[in-house]
Amino acid sequence: MVHLYVFNPAPKLRLLSTLFVRGSKRILGTVSESTSPLSAQSRSQQCTPFSLVPLEAPRLPEGQLVRDPDYYANSRKGFCAFLVENTLFNVHQVILSREPSAFDDMLCLPRPVDSTEGSEETPVFLTDTVEQFRDLLWALYAPPNELFHETGIDRLLNIAEMANKYCFFSLEAWTIEHIHALAADSATSGLLQSASPSTCGRIMDVAVLCGHVPLKELVAQRLVSRTLWYNTSPELILDIAERHGLRTLIGVCYYKQLISMECSGPSHSNSKATQMQMQTQTILPPSFNIDQSMLFLAAHRSLISLWEQIRSMPPPLPCEGCPSHSECELAWQIMWFQAGEVDETLRRGSADILGRMKSLMLGLRKAMADAPLMTMQCKMAALEAITGMRDEVLECLILHFTKTL
């Protein structure tokens, strides 16, 4: 939804009323000037190329207002003055009307002949920040080559937000595509990998605001990866996930919180009894209420149960055209059971199902590299099967934290 705070419909309504009454006079021919409902002041209004009726700006002492050093022109004719926070901008109307936008509509509204609206004395008051409005003007004034080479993510996000707010549709479309290209480019993949969670959240907000689904999905994927494998705090990511209803990311955040609560036992012990005892030690934070505690304890039990199912039943090995598929299946099952019992896999937390599956996959890759009984096509099918199982577990993590389980 576009929010515009600088419109006052009264001038346009007065113009429409004037046109309606004049048309009625021509048709009926019986309405006298003395009985006209319009005042002399209303009839004197004219439609000029510029009319803006600003909100009542905050009253600031004259000494506190500053002129923007880059976007304030010392001219009146054909220019429009804006007050943003405590900064005055004086912008050429041609720049604002270069393409259809909210400013283009505002500049065409009727105003009284003696109106000073849009001048430095009575500027149009906008509720944006100085940085936002300055970045929008930079985009409107900048030559194409500067736009295409711009990589500052904060500036691009400001431009996208402002273009969306003021209905610069072509500028909005170009900017959001440019942000997506920068985020997806392998040469600049660090954009989403190293950016702060707040910046990633803002990119997600802009992607949703502009309806750009590919960028939204890309940010969600990067945040899942960072939360799982790069120790990004799940508490910082959870707010983004819940704000936009990203169920997979919500499940990942809850999952990371849960496995961080597991108490680590002595890593030098190889006793399976000790390992089984470690599986039950989960320390919940004191800040949890009863409902949260019950939810996370139930999720803990559910994930342990799921791991036991996965370890005891390897995924099917579909492989058409293999001349010795039965031997491949038998070798696959043996390697699966062995990989699920190695210390590297069991050393992970009892609820750390994705960590255990990662160790399981590494063990299977090593085992299959030395497995002469499996054909290459069955080895590739086996790796695809474990990858598919891992992705399914990842997508369904949120289900372990629902009250229905």
pLDDT in tens, 382-405: 889 999 999 999 999 999 998 544
Question: Which tens digit of pLDDT belongs to each residue from 105-119?
Answer: 777 654 544 444 556
Question: Which tens digit of pLDDT belongs to each residue from 190-199?
Answer: 788 888 999 9
Residue 254 confidence (pLDDT): 96
Residues sharing a CB contact under 8 Å with residue 301, sequence separation 6 or more, in sequence order: none
Mean pLDDT of the chain: 79
Conformation bin of residue 167: beta by default, left when phi > 0, alpha when psi is -120 to 50? left
The SS3 call for residue 292 is helix
Element (H, E) at 295: helix 290-312
Residue 102 confidence (pLDDT): 87
The residue among 188 and 66 whose pLDDT is bigger is: 66
Q: Phi and psi dihedrals of 125, rounded to 5?
A: -90, 125
Q: Reply yes or no on whether the pLDDT at 376 is more than 50.
A: yes
Name the residue with tokens 């910046």. Answer: 199
Q: Reply yes or no on whether the pLDDT at 27 is more than 50.
A: no
Residues sharing a CB contact under 8 Å with residue 372, sequence separation 6 or more, in sequence order: none
Q: Reply yes or no on whether the pLDDT at 166 is more than 70.
A: yes
Q: Do the strands 79-84 and 87-92 form a parallel or antiparallel pair, or are they unpaired?
A: antiparallel
Q: Residue ranges per domain, the chain?
A: 10-127, 138-245, 272-401
When pLDDT is cut at 50, 70 and 90, the band that residue 124 belongs to is confident
Separation of alpha carbons 216 and 220, rounded Å? 6
Classify residue 120 by burial, with Cβ atoms within 10 Å: 0-12, 13-18, 19+: middle
